[in-house]
Amino acid sequence: MSAETTPEPTKAGVSSPEELRDFVSSAGSRLLVVDVRHPDASVEPGDVKSLAVAGFPDKESDYRPRAVNLPWSRETKSMELPTVDPDTPIITHCGGGGRGQKAKDYLMKNGFTNVLNGGGPKETACWAEYGSK
């Protein structure tokens, strides 16, 4: 493979684009994307860059219709749990994958069984597989 076609490696804990593609395909309409970025940039200044690439889910405009915003709290090391069946296929993400991994681990510790970390808008190859969902 030449340097031009070699995909960039994903951040530790972030699923590969291929794994995400297969997951999205098999999940179909059951897919839930959990955006754990914080809406207040003073709480998470790093989110400003990723929000410039991709905004928060908006049900009214049908932007990212399978996504919900459940911010990860660094202070409490927790988040609100989604109100879905524990076997629902879930992709967590933040800006680049760090909080997405914490959210994935937290969801799994709370009984969710089918969760991947999708990284976020900074992981462009991964984002391309689920970012519009």
- Answer whether residue 12 is part of any domain: no
Question: What would the pLDDT profile of 56-96 be if each residue is shown by its tens digit?
Answer: 898 888 899 999 999 999 999 999 999 999 999 999 999 98
- Answer whether residue 86 is part of any domain: yes
Range of the domain at 120: 17-130
Report the CATH number at residue 92: 3.40.250.10
Question: What would the pLDDT profile of 1-13 be if each residue is shown by its tens digit?
Answer: 444 444 555 677 8
Residue among 66, 126, 71, 72 at smallest CA distance from 96: 126
What is the count of structural domains for the chain? 1
Question: What would the pLDDT profile of 47-61 be if each residue is shown by its tens digit?
Answer: 888 888 888 898 888
